[in-house]
Amino acid sequence: MPPADRRARRRQETIDEILDIAVAIMSEEGVNGLSLSEVARRLGIQPPSIYKYFPSLMAIYDELFLRGQTMHLEVMRDAMATADPGLDALVAGLEASGRWLLANRAVAELLFWRPVPKFEPSHSAMAISREMIDIQRAALVDAVTAGQLGPGADSDEAVFLVSTLIIGVLSQAFANEPDLEWGTGRFTPLFPKLMRLLVAVYPPPS
């Protein structure tokens, strides 16, 4: 392996380390509590050295946003792939999503609650967002085809509705039961109930 590759690899490792530390800090101090100095302190280097890896604090938020979105999408896609296509896949995907977001609270807040007013997600973030909508939409189409849901479920509205339900559950869990796991407490057990509602909103032709 040429030395240039070694350097690049070391560099990438440091970048990953910075991002992991950043997540840890946000988990402890809140998303807004992230600071370059604290990252440097934990990494054992001086604050200015961070600038060799990221041009600004916002660039770190940017990377965290992108990485979070990508992982979230992957988790959801994997869960959907192992279930029966249609409604089962959708529910499995959303539950995996909820579980992951609850376990990665800081990232979840960054992705869905915009707690850093000065930070605006970049353009490339939109593409992943769109893909997220698409895989949910595809599952809804499968459910309609299979006769599990009515034709109205093949719509962006249905996707918005589904995401609104899960974000409601997560908001409540974060605010009121921050330390509980998915499936326990007063709120996350509501989710399966809410999912069954989908059938009531878009009743299949009988």
Partner DNA sequence: GTCTATAGCCTGATAGAC
Partner DNA sequence: GTCTATCAGGCTATAGAC
Q: Which span (36-44, 53-61, 85-93, 158-166) binds a copy of itself, by CB under 8 A?
A: 158-166
Applying CB under 7 A, among 21, 24, 57, 195 the residue interacting with DNA is 57
The span from the CA of 23 to the CA of 4, in Å, is: 29
Rg, C-alpha atoms of the chain: 20
**Closest distance to DNA from the beta carbon of 16 (Å):** 13
H-run or E-run covering 178: none
Residue 36, both tokens: 């370059």
Q: What is the DSSP letter of 45?
A: S
**Closest distance to DNA from the beta carbon of 175 (Å):** 23
- Closest by CA to 100, choosing from 119, 120, 124, 79, is 79
Applying CB under 8 A, among 12, 46, 164, 184 the residue interacting with a copy of itself is 164
The span from the CA of 42 to the CA of 19, in Å, is: 12
**Residue 163: contacted member of a copy of itself, DNA, none (CB under 5 to 8 Å, by partner type):** a copy of itself
**Residue 34: contacted member of DNA, a copy of itself, none (CB under 5 to 8 Å, by partner type):** DNA
Contacts 24+ apart (CB under 8 A), 151-154: 151/202, 151/205, 152/201, 152/202, 153/198, 153/201, 153/202
Answer whether 142's CB lies under 8 Å from 86's CB: yes
**Closest distance to DNA from the beta carbon of 39 (Å):** 8
**Closest distance to a copy of itself from the beta carbon of 111 (Å):** 9
Nearer to a copy of itself, 75 or 158 (CB): 158
For position 129 contacting DNA by CB under 7 A, the verdict is no
For position 46 contacting DNA by CB under 7 A, the verdict is yes
Longest Cα–Cα distance of the chain, Å, equals 67
Q: How far does the chain reach from its first CA to its final CA, in angstroms? A: 65
Q: What is the DSSP letter of 187?
A: T
**Span 2-41, contacts to DNA by CB under 7 A:** 7, 10-11, 14, 34-38
| Interaction site with DNA (CB under 7 A) | 7, 10-11, 14, 34-38, 44-49, 51-53, 55-58
| Interaction site with a copy of itself (CB under 8 A) | 29-30, 32-33, 112-117, 156-157, 160-161, 163-169, 171-172, 174-175, 186-187, 190, 193-194, 197, 200-201
